[in-house]
């Protein structure tokens, strides 16, 4: 019995959809899906159907692509999130709005906390004013589709939405009273984990400094994230940080199959993974 993880399935791609269809069964294992399944709810539903048939339990948190309002869609921002939570629950998938499940298998008891935290543009150079963030990113051709397709209404901004989500999540984590925890969030918890050589100025859309110390503050054993599309393992203060993206077809090797990109989160693999561990 293992806790596995993957993110950024991006099922708008036929290649990725075929890979999901070919995924074998893992009837004893639990699976974390850390966001960016697809923009269309119908494809998210199809993924939930496929994954819940293959795994004993599925735990999900949304990515920004899941929340985009694409042409022909009425749902916007928080309303789409609520609809996806309802959809997940119909399939028996654990969401950030549900009680945190407790891992009952090998490696020791640990609470699995799927979170939805967003970002607030604080992953930027300290001298750069907030008002210049988008302009600064565009200078090197970096831009996030969220600026056009992720509406925060009824929140005043995505920043306000992020801060509300972080406040609620921090309260829930504090209520665990130091229990060993695995945090799952689409975005990395720390700025120093955002290394994107192909688009270094994409970092403002990658998280918030509000979570920089959460791995120490909440006794986090492993922090799982995606979004960056660069699979790797990092360690900070004894906490393992796992980036578990699949990504677009050009970013993974189809001949290996989707199963090669399922990262073991718990129990800790032997030997413990080093930085950069995992299939490329």
Which phi and psi angles does 134 have, rounded to 5°? -65, -45
So what's the pLDDT on residue 270? 83
Q: Is residue 277 part of a domain?
A: no
DSSP 166-192: HHHHHHHHHTTTT--EEEE-SS-S-GG
Q: What is the pLDDT along the chain (280 residues), one digit of tens a residue?
A: 999 999 999 999 999 999 999 999 999 999 999 999 999 999 999 999 999 999 999 999 999 999 999 888 888 899 999 999 999 999 999 999 999 999 999 999 999 999 999 999 999 999 999 999 999 999 999 999 999 999 999 999 999 999 999 999 999 999 999 999 999 999 999 999 999 999 999 999 999 999 999 999 999 999 999 999 999 999 999 999 999 999 999 999 999 999 999 999 999 998 878 777 655 5
Which phi and psi angles does 214 have, rounded to 5°? -65, -30
> Do 221 and 206 contact (CB within 8 A), yes or no?
no
Q: What residues make up the domain containing 11?
A: 3-266
So what's the pLDDT on residue 267? 97
Cα 264 to Cα 156: distance, rounded to the nearest angstrom? 38
So what's the pLDDT on residue 59? 98
- Overall domain count for the chain: 1
pLDDT, tens digit, 9 for 90 and up, residues 83-101 = 999 999 999 999 999 999 9
Q: Is residue 271 part of a domain?
A: no
Q: Is residue 257 part of a domain?
A: yes
Torsion on CA atoms 191, 197, 199, 205, rounded to nearest 10: -20
Handedness of CA 192, 193, 194, 195 (dihedral sign): positive
Q: Is residue 279 part of a domain?
A: no
So what's the pLDDT on residue 279? 58
Q: Is residue 175 part of a domain?
A: yes
DSSP 73-132: ----THHHHHHHHHHHHHTT-B-TTSPPPEE-STT--EEEEE------S-SS-TTS-GGG
So what's the pLDDT on residue 56? 98
pLDDT, tens digit, 9 for 90 and up, residues 35-76 = 999 999 999 999 999 999 999 999 999 999 999 998 888 888
Reference 49, options 100, 97, 6, 92; nearest CA is: 92
Reported residue count of the chain is 280
CATH of the domain at 121: 3.60.21.10
Q: Is residue 273 part of a domain?
A: no
């Amino acid at each position: 019995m293992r806790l596995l993880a993957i993110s950024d399935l991006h099922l708008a791609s036929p290649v990725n959809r075929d890979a999901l269809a070919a995924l074998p069964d893992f009837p004893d294992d639990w699976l974390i899906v850390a966001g960016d399944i697809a923009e269309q709810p119908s494809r998210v539903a199809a993924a939930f159907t496929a994954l819940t048939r293959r795994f004993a339990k599925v735990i999900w948190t949304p990515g920004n692509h899941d929340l985009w309002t694409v042409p022909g869609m009425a749902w916007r921002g928080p309303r789409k999130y609520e609809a996806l939570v309802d959809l997940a629950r119909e399939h028996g998938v654990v969401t950030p709005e549900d009680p945190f499940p407790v891992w009952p298998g090998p490696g020791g008891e640990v609470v699995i906390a799927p979170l939805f935290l967003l970002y607030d543009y604080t992953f930027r150079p300290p001298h750069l004013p907030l008002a210049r963030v988008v302009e600064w990113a565009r200078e090197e051709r970096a831009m996030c589709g969220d600026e056009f397709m992720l509406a925060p209404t009824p929140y005043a901004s995505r920043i306000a939405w992020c801060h509300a989500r972080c406040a609620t999540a921090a309260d829930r984590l504090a209520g665990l009273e130091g229990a060993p925890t695995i945090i799952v969030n689409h975005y990395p918890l720390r700025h120093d984990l955002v290394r994107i050589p192909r688009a270094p100025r994409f970092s403002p859309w990658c998280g918030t400094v509000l979570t920089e110390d959460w791995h120490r503050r909440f006794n986090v054993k492993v922090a799982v994230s995606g979004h960056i599309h660069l699979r790797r393992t990092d360690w900070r203060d004894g906490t393992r940080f796992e980036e578990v993206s699949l990504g677009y077809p050009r970013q993974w090797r189809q001949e290996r199959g989707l199963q090669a990109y399922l990262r073991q989160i718990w129990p800790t693999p032997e030997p413990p993974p080093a930085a950069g561990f995992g299939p490329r």
